[in-house]
Amino acid sequence: DAKTTQPPSMDCAEGRAANLPCNHSTISGNEYVYWYRQIHSQGPQYIIHGLKNNETNEMASLIITEDRKSSTLILPHATLRDTAVYYCIVSPAGSYQLTFGKGTKLSVIP
Partner 1 sequence: DSGVTQTPKHLITATGQRVTLRCSPRSGDLSVYWYQQSLDQGLQFLIQYYNGEERAKGNILERFSAQQFPDLHSELNLSSLELGDSALYFCASSPPVGWALSTDTQYFGPGTRLTVL
Indicate whether 95 belongs to the interface with partner 1 (CB under 8 A). yes
Query: Least distance from C-beta 57 to partner 1, angstroms?
Result: 11
Counts for the chain of helices (H) and strands (E), in that order: 0, 9
Q: Please state, in angstroms and rounded to a whole number, the distance separating the CA atoms of residues 72 and 60.
A: 10
Query: Least distance from C-beta 51 to partner 1, angstroms?
Result: 12
Among residues 3, 19, 23, 101, the one that binds partner 1 under rule CB under 8 A: 101
List the beta bridge partners of residue 23: 5, 70
Which residues inside 10-29 make contact with partner 1, applying CB under 8 A?
Answer: none
What are the angstrom distances between the C-alpha of 78 and each of 19, 53, 63? 10, 23, 17
For residue 81, give the DSSP letter: G
Which residues inside 23-82 make contact with partner 1, applying CB under 8 A?
Answer: 32, 34, 38, 41-46, 49
Where on the chain is the footprint of partner 1 (CB under 8 A)? Answer: 32, 34, 38, 41-46, 49, 87, 91, 93-102
